[in-house]
Chains A and B, each alone.
Chain A
Amino acid sequence: MNFTILVKEFKKGIGMAEKITGKNLTLPILDNVLIEALPNFLKISSTDLEVGIQWWGLCKTEKEGKIAVPARFLNQLIGSLPDDKVNIKEKGNSLIVESKNLKTQIKGFSADDFPIIPSFLKEIYIEIDGKKLKDGLMSVVDIASPSQIRPEISGIYFTFTKDSVKLVATDSFRLGEKTIHLKSGFKNLFEKEVNFILPQKTIKELINVLPDEEKNVRIYLSDSQVLFETLLSNSDHPEINLISRQIDGEYPSYQEIIPKESKTKITLNKEELIKQIKTAGLFGGRTNEVVVKAEAGEKEIEIKSQDSEIGESELSMDSKIEGESVKASFNWKFILDGLSNMKSSEILFELQGGDGPAVIRPIGDASYLYVIMPIKM
């Protein structure tokens, strides 16, 4: 193996691949990245046997070959290099990195021991704007919570129809749903509804990998795996492949959680609500509990919180109240999590009394909704 590549490129690839490696005691080879010199391309792969990443970058290859080297170490080394060219060779089971003022040799392992990242049939796929997908995922990813008992709700649920994508996550106390409507540039070659559940960890990696600019991502499926693929600019060659296992199981029919109507509707300024909730939260104590109270016909809502050790607070804010009077207790952090994913200046807070699910929606943006269960009073 012998190739020359720009340090900037190499950094990009190794940085991405290094993230999913970690200390693996049973199979130490997983702490490594696989470096492969292919004609005109450098390929870097890593996996933790749940998620796998493959990255391709242009390089000048003199001699093909491959080797596995410790990921963290290589990343640190490359990170310290100046932006220039770097020449990389393989000698025995070592990787030799050479640039203008430096010559290093890193002990590696035979590529034969490196896991084989599953391949996919690439005939049919879904193609979607990567930026939109990334933004959508960011608005739901933190809601899910790891659960050994209910693996199927610990992940993010994807539903692709012919012109939209729904992303859903819940931790059984609250639920977020993002709908991305797609007009152009979207292809669903499966020609039917496609659903799958992916682990939260995968989605966090995916958000890292997805582009910040408008660029399409292709999604391929196999029985138990999903592949997200971005292409190199102006080329049909893949740049990044992220492969993940799907969570086995059926996602619960979450639509039944979303209330069809509400008893009380409160319109609020979002920024002010965030401010008030944060202040009230200071007095929320261990339970994070704040009480929201709205009287029919009034023009203000009250937000109260108290803790036997800290003290108590009473806040109010202007609002438009429609429907019945209501008093309900919530975990203020949950409210804040929902609000932070909304971009509108005003929000609608819909309640079903003190023990039914409440819904928060950004006004003027039907694509997002957040359902939250109260704390029993």
Chain B
Amino acid sequence: MTNEEIWQSVLSQIQLNISPANFATWFANTRISSIENNEVTVSVPNSFSKEWLEQKYHKDILKILKSLDDNIKEIKYIVTPVNVKMSNSQRKGVKKEEAFEQLGFSELEVSKETNLNPKYTFDNFIIGPFNEIAYAASMAVVEEPGKNYNPLFVYGDVGLGKTHLIQAIGNKIKESDANKKVKYIPAEKLISTIVNAIRNQSVEELKKNLRDIDVLIVDDIQFIAGKDKTQEEFFHTFNSLYQKNKQIILSSDRHPNNIPALTERLKSRFNGGMIADINTPDYETRMAILKQKIEEKNVNISTDVLEYIANNIQKNVRELESAINRIIIYRKTNNKTIELEDAKKLLKNIIVSPSKITNYKKIVESITEFYDIPSGNMFFSSRKKEFARPRQIAMYLLKKELKMSYSEIGRKFGGKDHTTVIHACQLIEKEYEENEKIHQEIELILQRIYSK
């Protein structure tokens, strides 16, 4: 007989001798937690039940147990509080009917053990062409942590859902196997922890803690750029986890090769697994995100308003959410439906954000600096290949960023024909789409241009 069956037969006999109310009060949530050396351990939900069973029913229980198994000599009662905490999926069912957005302490949601926020799950993660590779890789990691794709390196611009994705992996792994030790650490926190450990001379302890983990998730790893001591410690941790087939998940705003001041050995480690990027979401995905958001909040907003938002906010999911939130709050506080005109007014600040400003000089300077070529006449007329490619990129960017006309660009480059300029722009456009290296170079140049 299993412990459950034994306890079941005890309960069925006890039930005959006491009132249903007493039975329900004192025997609910009781069970046998173990039988060892002729001693039965009965777990009860609270101290009141413990006292009651010990003092009122001990003899009866012992008698019944003995009739089932002669060897039983002792019964011990222990208190095991019933866990009434709802699981993740149940939690979601509880809809907050907040009329407005009172901010809460997000720290309280975070699990103390894993540092993960339960609100990040795959269920509310929207998949589109822009992130499907990262998603597929994440699912592979969830299935067999440490086996496929180790490390998993996810990169993409701010507000596209990197943190959501990597935390969802952690939550999912924890959900399927509660014994797995999952730890989520934002890189800034990792740095301060390591710095503190060095100061308090507790590095060994920290190392031990970090190496005990089954799944280590580090967010915004690019912040360790230039932090040599942190990089060194992280390198050792990385190796030790990697050798034990423990899963490592990293996120960054750029490809590992483009993280400045990152030691080569870390770069090559980061490149050693799967690198997945998250792009900007396409229109359909943006609509899907908006629709999910209003469903979550349980409000009705007309499709033309949603289309307006999806059309005007293209690069950032977080901005998309903040726009829809603004609409929802307005709707709730004023209790009226939102027309397209209202939406335009409400979102003026978000949508007409001051556009990035640059000029001809900045673009040319950034390119010559980037390729480390003299900015004199050569750049504008030399036929050498080392000048030709940067020049083509310059033309492309002048067209794209400043909307200069082809002939105007031609004049800037020593009176070149406008067809030459068109050819250059088309060529680079194509390369930008197809050639990863060129794509990255241009992105980096753009960063330089706009950070000046």
Contact = CB atoms under 8 A, between A and B. Distances in A.
Interface of A: 26-28, 47, 49, 52, 113, 115-119, 148-151, 153, 170, 172-173, 175, 222-225, 245, 248-250, 252-254, 256-257, 285-287, 289, 308, 331, 355, 357, 371, 373-376
Given A118-B47, A376-B325, A26 B24 contact: yes
Contact of B21 (A28, A49, A223, A252): A28
A376 B84 CA distance: 32
A224 B102 contact: no
Interface stretch (B103-111, B288-296, B307-315, B380-388): B103-111
B370 interface: no
* SS class, residues of chain A in contact with chain B: loop
Interface in B94-132: 94, 99-105, 107-108, 110, 112
Contact of B103 (A149, A249, A373): A373
A371 B106 CA distance: 13
Nearest to A175: B105
Contacts of A172: 104-105, 108
Given A26-B21, A253-B107, A287 B50 contact: no
A287 B104 contact: no
11 contacts: A27-B25, A170-B108, A173-B102, A173-B103, A173-B104, A175-B105, A224-B46, A252-B108, A252-B112, A253-B107, A285-B333
Interface string B409-420: 000000000000
B338 to A, nearest CB: 15
B103 A355 contact: yes
Contact of B105 (A245, A286, A357, A376): A357
Interface string B56-74: 1000000000000000000
B101 to A, nearest CB: 4
A253 B113 CA distance: 11
Contacts of B451: none
A331 B334 CA distance: 18
Contacts of A173: 102-105
A116 B105 contact: no
Contacts of A117: 48, 51
Contacts of B102: 173, 331, 373, 375-376
Contacts of A222: 47
B2 interface: no
Given A149-B86, A149-B94, A224 B79 contact: yes
B373 to A, nearest CB: 44
Contact of B329 (A149, A250, A286, A376): A376
A118 B47 CA distance: 6
Contacts of B56: 116
Contacts of B99: 286-287
Contacts of A153: 108
B209 interface: no
B79 A150 contact: no
A248 B82 CA distance: 9
A202 to B, nearest CB: 13
B86 A248 contact: no
A250 B112 contact: yes
B353 interface: no
A375 B52 CA distance: 49
B317 to A, nearest CB: 18
Contacts of A115: 48, 51-52
B115 to A, nearest CB: 10
User: Size band of the B side of the interface?
Assistant: 35 or more
A120 B153 CA distance: 54
Contacts of A28: 21
Contacts of B46: 49, 224, 245
Nearest to B103: A373
A364 to B, nearest CB: 27
CB-CB nearest 7 A-B residue pairs: A118-B47, A116-B51, A248-B81, A376-B101, A373-B103, A172-B104, A287-B100
B48 A223 contact: no
B104 A373 contact: yes
B83 interface: yes
Given A172-B104, A225-B47, 6 more contacts: A148-B84, A149-B94, A172-B108, A254-B107, A256-B107, A375-B100
Contacts of A254: 107-108
Interface string B38-55: 000000001110111001
Contacts of B334: 308
B22 interface: yes
B83 to A, nearest CB: 7
Contacts of B361: none
B85 interface: yes
B91 interface: yes
A224 B47 contact: yes
Contacts of A119: 51
A47 B56 CA distance: 18
Contacts of A52: 48
Given A224-B79, A308-B334, A257 B105 contact: yes
Contacts of B104: 172-173, 373
Nearest to B82: A248
Contacts of B48: 47, 49, 52, 115-118
Contacts of A248: 81, 83
Contacts of A116: 48, 51-52, 55-56
Given A149-B94, A250-B112, A373 B47 contact: no
A257 B51 CA distance: 40
B120 to A, nearest CB: 17
Nearest to B85: A151
A232 B84 CA distance: 38
Contacts of B101: 375-376
B110 A118 contact: no
A115 B358 CA distance: 79
Contacts of B103: 173, 355, 373-376
A331 B101 CA distance: 11
B318 to A, nearest CB: 13
A233 to B, nearest CB: 29
Contacts of A118: 47-48, 50-51
Nearest to A152: B85
Contacts of A151: 84-85
Contacts of A308: 333-334
